[in-house]
Chain A
Amino acid sequence: MTFVTVLTSVAIGMALLSLGRLVLGPASGLIELACRVLAGMVVLHFALTVLDLAGVSWHPLGLWVLLLTAIAVAVGLALSSGARRPKRGLGGRESIPAVVVTVATVGAFGWSAWTLRSVAPDFVYHWGIKAKRYAIARGVDWDYLSRSWNDFVQPDYPNLFPDLYSLGALLTGRFEEHWPMTVSVVLFAAIVTTTYALLDRIGDMWLQVSGLVLVGCACAAFSIGYFQAGGIDLGLALAGLLGLWLLLPSSGDQGDNRGGLGRKDRALALGFVCAFAAASKIEGVSLAAWLVLAYCVTFRPRLTELVRLGAPLALVVLPWAFELMRRDLFQRSEAAELTAQRLWDVLQAIPQGFAQSSWHGLSWLVILAPALLVSGVVRPIGTVMCLQLTFFLWVYWRSPVEPTFYVLSSWPRLVFQLWPAVVVGLLLAAARSVGAEGTSEELPADLRESPLE
């Protein structure tokens, strides 16, 4: 990685955080920080989409001005409002085990990503190709995507990640794989720190640390062994985790049971998480739909909340759908006949998908997703996870692709999108159940008193 790439990566990272701060306000904890990173990516993607729709090319100078302005405005706002100190991050003696786990797992994945040992095949097959094309064209290269012989790059996939990946090349003048790898490392680090912050709500130190080791090490092992760097599944796994947090009855950071997020803030933050998921990949659109549905059923939002929830999602989905329809880019495939035999073939292939070697058997924990429905606290995210699993099965059943090949080539990574949220949800539910029978006073109020039951 060159010095210029390092500096540019730092500048883009600061700009993303600044853009996230501009739309969601200052962060006061690790989870809020992760939300702002995702929100920053959504805002940047939206800005590039607007330029693209207006026919304005993504000129490097203009992009530098945009990023530096975002940083300057955010710094100005922070100085004028007196930035709040984080309530509690990875600091203090009690956090030492968590810091060790975080450094070890992020370090392991970072090593594999930056040495290009765990680059996702799909990064080469389409995400990276698109990013390079967009950097050369200084905008989304719709002409390239529209030519029928280029349909192997999946022209109908959303563009958030190719946009983001092309940014490094646009700003530095040359495409280096290290910038996309850095994005993946940041997303991975956000998964681990969000897990830490969520488990910090549990009063039991043993469960906190061992739960963090479980999630951090399993995610790192899979991400290295199944080549996730530069891929999109890390982002969707993070979106699922943040969805879990935002659907908890009282979502404050770091076990905050003194108020947490206001309803409007929660709706807006979830709107950006949904927008991020939907702008990342096709299955992210369904994840976003289930998250919105779960939010509406759980919190019965007022109109203003619905607007805050839906606006970010609409701002990224509508332009994307508009361009696809205008250019007739939706990839249509014949639906398979919904026969019992095909369903049986799919169900028979699923255990082989779970047995993928890089999971080391830990993928099976996802089948416990329905258990989340039993606990009122995590029932909303449990519903989301079960609906998404059902959606995956439906796609396998309906698709004309040979079922065993289809399942084996995608199930391990689809499971990864859900795995952290399911496992952290199970840990929270287990802690609550044990606390109810044992020392409930150790649990934060929102884990003891659920308005959902």
Chain B
Amino acid sequence: MLYAKNRKLIATAQAVVNYKDKKAEKVITMRKTFVSMIAAAALSAGAVMPAFGTEVTLGRFFGSCQDAGTDVSAAVGEACIIQSIINAFDAENDDFDVTTLPTDWGNYYDQIIASYASGNPPDVHVMHRHRIPEYGQIGALADLTDDLMAHGIDPDDWTESAREAVTWNDRILGVPMDLHANLWHVNMDLMEAAGLVEDGRPILPSSPEEMMEHAEMVREATGQYYLAADFSEFEIGVRMVLAFLWQQDSNIFANGTATINTPEARNALELITGLFDGDYANSRTNYADSQQSFLNGEAAVLVNGTWVVDFYAEQAADEDVELTNYYVADFPTLYDEPATWADSHLWAIPASVQRDDPEVYEGALKLLAFINDHNIDWARTGHAAVRESVLNSDEYAELPHRSEYDNTVNIARDTPASARYGAIQDILNREFQAIWLTGKSIDAALSDAEEDVQSQLDR
């Protein structure tokens, strides 16, 4: 097709040349040479230029991956796996040309909102389950319900929770990609040294008191931290507190009323500040530092999500990395009910694309079908798959460490749906960090957080 296009270019150029007056043959000869040169340049450039299909712009987070290529099976980590899937689709489909827009995790949703407001959103973009209410209630997203089957996407193959994740007012607004949750990533060597390994599995605490005992055992035996997490940047600390709240059958709000200033929240926060007070954890570490300290063997447990399982497994296999004996565990139950924070990544198409640009909509849907077909590859990151056919496959069961945290899908929780999810998470992150970074009292922080969350719910 590309060759045909270039031939057409040469033909057009020569037609222009032939049109010229024959008397000016000399000039024409020069022009012919010039046009041929341009055509030749275009032809040679064509070898490296992407195909001229309909452009489909794509917005995503997950970070950047240089030279992702098209070999999905060779990719490691979220960024490279998703980009290689996109590249593979691009290579297989000459009719469409997918352009991945530059975005950044910290400002992703701000960029997406701004792009919707300016009338120029990406033709297809990734988002979280928790954002569906915000976009769903104003009709920003395309209703895909009636178009999925025709494009080879079978919603009946999705798990119930995945279907719920993309459904708003009984209509399907997206294609789910995973369920991701907080896990305990464990350094088995440190746990072994502290006598916290049994039958090849780490012994995890079953009560707050036991967690402190284990922390002390690790400290005494190894001199290292018991637990590391990002307590000073993103919301990992908030997600830990939320899990402890749910485990006590409490939540941050219900039916439009904030319920944060509660004894359960105080318990959860005292548990975490107890770790800092005993020097069993460092409150000052951000995401990168906490991860690095785990890989360096400076913490027995790292609280982080499913998205890093394959990366840590790869790092553990590296001789230069201190972490060698890596294990993944479900978030432990310290109170009454098991629970861990979870969310879902999903892909959506703006309503304006469905309405105004059928060709692009077609391309975006084909891309989503392609991503849906590669659900097993995405699950390699460590995320839980959303398709029953993938979940029940041997290939999925054999993924590294998968069996170690297979109960996570059953204990996955999140806060109630709200269009103000982002702002509420920010409030909790600010107030909880104020407790362990600036010494604000738990009572004052909980009272301020409740007031601020209530004012968000009232808006």
* Chains A and B come from one and the same complex: no
Question: Chain B interface (Cβ within 8 Å of chain A)?
Answer: none
